[in-house]
Amino acid sequence: MPGFLYGYTRFRSELETPIVSDQDEDAMTRLRAMIHPFILRRLKKDVLKELPEKQEEIVTIELSGEQKKLYQAHAQRLKMFLEKQNDEECAQNKLQILSELMKLRQLCCGPELILENYKGENAKLKTCIELITQAIEGGHKILLFSQFTSMLDRIGEALSKEKIAYYRIDGSVKKETRMELVDQFQDPKNPIAVFCISLKAGGT
């Protein structure tokens, strides 16, 4: 419906800017009234009654050995740093704090993500491969997402050691190729059961 929301200049001045910048309730109400008739929201259970409810299972992994020591040391260092900061200093150092929190997440995924020569145990990777193997034996296909492409590298290496074939999509894969891989993965005759996907590329 070209033109229904005016040209972009008018749309921006009358609706987008007041809503985004000023939280203008009148503009929000006006836009909602214009688009509401064309938006249909339905629940999955109302449309596909044969599908079961989504099941979620949270698997908690206990870190051990060198990985646990590294994590605890890093967490303690960050805690000591934060205890010395007042509110103003925390605000000024928020990028550094976020970076340190990211390192804690990476240590959980695997210390080798930030420590080049780490050769110790990786509890999360070990459990991940066990879960994948169990799922394949049960006849399932797996979509495996990670924010860290370096973690996908480690998972790929571990899958190859177990002789498990897989597809992978990350930022280096062209959009056209992504769709080809998705089509191949969805083919019921295709034996490849694992698809490793970076969150950013998967969202695209």
Task: Read off the pLDDT of residues 109-118 as tens digits, 9 standing for 90 and up.
Answer: 999 999 888 8
User: What does the pLDDT read at residue 120?
Assistant: 87
Tell me the pLDDT band of 43, cut-offs 50, 70 and 90.
confident
Q: Quote the CA–CA distance of 108 and 122 in Å, as a whole number.
A: 8
pLDDT at 70 over 70: yes
Bridge partner residues of 114 (DSSP): none
User: What does the pLDDT read at residue 49?
Assistant: 75
- Is-above-0.75 flag for pTM? no
Q: Which residue has the higher pLDDT, 137 or 53?
A: 137
Q: Give the residue-averaged pLDDT of 130-139.
A: 93
User: What does the pLDDT read at residue 146?
Assistant: 93
Q: Quote the CA–CA distance of 67 and 86 in Å, as a whole number.
A: 31
Q: Within a 10 A sphere around the Cβ of 159, how many other Cβ atoms? A: 20
Q: Quote the CA–CA distance of 164 and 71 in Å, as a whole number.
A: 30
**Distant-in-sequence, close-in-space partners of 11: CB < 8 Å, separation ≥ 6:** 5
User: What does the pLDDT read at residue 184?
Assistant: 94
User: What does the pLDDT read at residue 2?
Assistant: 82
DSSP state of 165: -
- What is the per-residue pLDDT across 156-189, written as a single tens digit (0 to 9) for each? 999 999 999 999 999 899 888 999 999 999 998 9
